[in-house]
Amino acid sequence: MVSGALLIDKPIGVTSSGVVTQLKWAMQNNDYVPKGFRIGHGGTLDPFATGVLVVLFGEGTKLADAYLHSLKAYDGLIQLGAQTDTGDPTGSIIEEKSAPLLIAEQWNDLAQTFVDKDYLQVPPMYSAKKKDGVALYTLARAGKTIDREAILKKISKFEIQLETESSLRFEAHCESGTYIRVLAEDLAKRAGTLAHLKSLRRIRSSDFSLQDCASLPATLSHFKEKKPLGELPSFRELNKLASHLPQIELGELQALRLRQGVKAEAEAQSSLLLEINCQSRYALGKKEGQAVALFEKESDFNRFRLQRVFN
């Protein structure tokens, strides 16, 4: 079976899991994937959001965690003066407050107070984050609000342009798990007003940008017409994925021992990754260009553990 990823420009109004489901049904009608093959994505986009969605299938799904935790970049519009219960245009306005007349330079000065700083972000009630096994959005829809613990997030870029007197266009680069809806609200708070997202578009996920993506309808049509997978410009085979990760070359015996789950070999590669001062959370072991193993740095940062082995 062929393994890899499809790079999709997710349309507005569909969930990320909905995109995956549509692709799964379309791909199953072709000979290059078996029934019941694995498929998933590398980072959720809200239904109202559009942009880069990395859909992984086959052995590619073993890289899901590495993509979930990769750098994401977004642009979009912030509507000033009104807060919605969801933080986006799908919700109801719950409070309004006049917005200050600031110039672009002043907004950018405020935006820079988030960049490369200790930014503690409180997850929104309308999110998939769970409390005691229950998704927060389930509680929110029941009219409940609970205390949520703030989480330290890193913003590496946050730039603002004035769209109108009451709206801002922005570009933000951040680590995985950052809620851009909350970032917009927090920016507005520092200006003494309220806000919600008017639109959101993911322009990059890891090393993939919008230019690498195909539309969902075009991709579904490709599979419906039973065209070869390799003719899809948005297809990336397994061994072309994860170029953003540090990589180490393995010998034949090392690759064999890792695939057999030999603990001593995993520990040896962990020592090598620490020796070369690997700063990434994940690293990939390859043999002659073929993916062999994915390593993950443990929370104490004193070693890497073998997370996945590729067949």
Calculate the average pLDDT of the chain.
91
Q: What is the pLDDT of residues 193-218, one digit of tens each?
A: 999 999 999 999 998 999 999 999 99
Closest CA to 45 of 87, 85, 10: 10
Q: Which of 24-33, 45-54, 176-185, 270-279 bottoms out in mean pLDDT, i.e. has the lowest?
A: 270-279
Q: Residue 172's pLDDT is what?
A: 98
Q: What is the pLDDT of residues 231-286, one digit of tens each?
A: 999 999 988 888 888 888 888 898 898 888 888 888 888 888 877 777 788 988 99
Q: Residue 163's pLDDT is what?
A: 94
- Residue 199 sits at φ, ψ, to 5 deg, of -155, 160
Give the contacts of 212 (CB within 8 A, at least 6 positions apart).
7, 52, 234
List active site positions. 46
Q: Which of 25-29, 98-102, 237-241, 278-282 bottoms out in mean pLDDT, i.e. has the lowest?
A: 278-282
Q: In this prediction, what percent of the chain has a pLDDT beyond 90?
A: 63
Q: What is the pLDDT of residues 70-95, one digit of tens each?
A: 899 999 999 999 999 999 999 999 99
Chain Cα centroid distance, residue 258 = 28
Whole-angstrom CA distances from 60 to 15, 193, 237, 307 are 21, 44, 8, 14
Cα–Cα distance for residue pair 195/191, rounded to 1 Å: 10
Query: Higher confidence at residue 277 or residue 174?
Result: 174
Query: E-assigned strands of the chain?
Result: 4-10, 39-41, 50-57, 72-80, 82-84, 93-96, 119-121, 130-131, 134-135, 151-153, 155-164, 167-174, 195-205, 208-209, 214-215, 235-237, 247-249, 282-287, 290-297, 304-309
Q: Residue 301's pLDDT is what?
A: 66
Query: Higher confidence at residue 189 or residue 267?
Result: 189
Q: Residue 243's pLDDT is what?
A: 81
Q: CA torsion, points 207, 210, 213, 217, in degrees to nearest 10?
A: 150
Domains assigned to the chain: 4-70+208-240 (3.30.70), 72-205 (3.30.2350.10), 247-309 (no CATH)
Sign for the pseudo-dihedral over CA of 76, 51, 131, 67: negative
Contact predicate 111/158, CB 8 Å: yes
pTM: 0.91
Burial of residue 32, with CB atoms counted within 10 A of its CB: 0-12 exposed, 13-18 middle, 19 or more buried: middle
Q: Residue 304's pLDDT is what?
A: 84
Cα–Cα distance for residue pair 8/217, rounded to 1 Å: 10
Contact predicate 29/229, CB 8 Å: no
Cα–Cα distance for residue pair 307/303, rounded to 1 Å: 12
Hey, what are 298's tokens? 């443990």
